Amino acid sequence: MPGPDVVRAKDLPERVRIYEVGPRDGLQNEPTVVPAATKAELIRRLAAAGLGTIETTSFVSPRWVPQLADAAEVLALLGPSGTGRDRPVLVPNERGLDRAVAAGVGAIAIFGSATETFAQRNLGRSVAESVAMFRPVVARARDLGLWVRAYVSMCFGDPWEGPVRVEQAADACAALMDLGCDELSLGDTIGVATTGHVVALLDALEGRGLGVERVAVHFHDTYGQALANTMAALRRGVTVVDASAGGLGGCPYAGSATGNLATEDLVWALEGAGVATGVDLDALVATSRWLSAELNRPSPSAVVTALAPTP
Ligand code: HMG
Ligand code: MG
């Protein structure tokens, strides 16, 4: 398959770590439950394509997200992880941590909200009550030597509350990072961010001692801004980017959320700019093509469509 012409963009970092979220953010939103064996095959293929960090599944309530109720089964099918940090999983509460630890995970992600409405809809509690729920989870995870990421959803806008002020998002980020998390991921759950807003939030976080070396970005592509926003974050010094193979994704508790930034679109852009990702674009596109057939619908990724159009 053709690749982009490579011309080094000197204002971008030399290397970017892609944090692949397709098996979790993508498959949590599928109308049907994908079999555990297909999920495990997807994760194996993504790892073989060079994705070193793959968010594998969620140990949330199966009543809330039945699509990922088979979390333990998927991890059992995969067998022991390589580095222990290569397969993070979402964990909302102590019950979820018990299940994740029993499944042998080495890395977890908690997930809070910048807005009260989404905290209620996604976690059944207020922003402050969610921080209280996460506190013992992070403390015990750290005692166990697990790596911990903190997501903050609705960092830029919320479908019920409208635009979210930078200071409000920064407060939510600081509250979760103060629990002792290793990495922060800024969630644009409904894809409404634009580049100036992204840089303004990164500046505000830096002002609170949360520098870009601890921050990842997580853009959904509802308004086609995910790649532009990612590039703005990379120019501001971020080096960890969340993306989803084939552009799968969405949040079942945020109706207007569509897929994440497609990993293929990100890899094409970075490869062309001479930024190392370690990802084999051909193998990744082949994986998304295979997954499209499994899910019986075309990938929304522009690069997948260009390189491997649906017949
Ligand atoms: P709760 O407070 O226990 O509330 O759960 P509940 O009473 O609704 O609980 C329902 C049932 O689940 C109860 O069982 C609980 O015991 C059980 P029942 O009594 O009915 O038999 N339960 C559990 N079972 C297994 N594992 C668990 C667990 N916890 C409770 N861990 C909770 C509150 C937070 C767990 C629930 O609200 C929940 O699971 N929410 C998760 C929603 C979710 O996964 N959303 C998508 C992920 S977030 C996202 O996509 C955004 C992100 O991508 C970033 C971005 O884009 O912005 C990360
Ligand atoms: Mg998401």
pLDDT value at residue 214: 98
Ligand 1 center to 122 CA (angstroms): 8
pLDDT value at residue 217: 98
pLDDT value at residue 258: 81
From the CA of 122, give the closest atom in ligand 1.
Answer: 42
pLDDT along the chain (311 residues), means of 10: 94 98 94 94 98 98 97 96 90 98 97 98 98 98 98 98 98 98 98 98 98 98 97 98 92 74 98 98 97 90 86 54
Q: CB under 8 Å to 150, separation ≥6 — which residues?
A: 109, 110, 111, 112, 134, 173, 176, 177, 179, 181, 183, 184, 185
pLDDT value at residue 31: 86
pLDDT value at residue 251: 65
Question: What amino acid is encoded at 85 in this protein?
Answer: R
Could you tell me which of 217, 64, 91, 228 has the C-alpha nearest to residue 155? 217
pTM, rounded to two decimals: 0.97
Classified as helix, coil or strand, 11 is coil
> Could you confirm whether 173 is annotated as catalytic?
no
Domain residue limits, the chain: 17-307
Give the closest residue (by CA) to ligand 1 atom 2.
124
pLDDT value at residue 256: 64
Pocket test for ligand 1, best of 60, 105, 151 (most atoms within 8 A of CB): 60
> Chain-centre distance of CA 270, in angstroms?
18
pLDDT value at residue 260: 95
Question: What amino acid is encoded at 66 in this protein?
Answer: P
Element spanning 266, H or E: helix 263-272
pLDDT value at residue 161: 97
Is residue 232 within 8 Å of 201, Cβ to Cβ?
A: no
pLDDT value at residue 90: 98
Q: Kindly list the protein residues whose Cβ atom lies closer than 6 A to any atom of ligand 1.
A: 25, 28, 58-65, 90, 92-93, 95-96, 99, 111, 122-124, 151, 153, 187, 189, 218, 220, 251, 253
Domain 17-307, CATH class in plain words: alpha beta
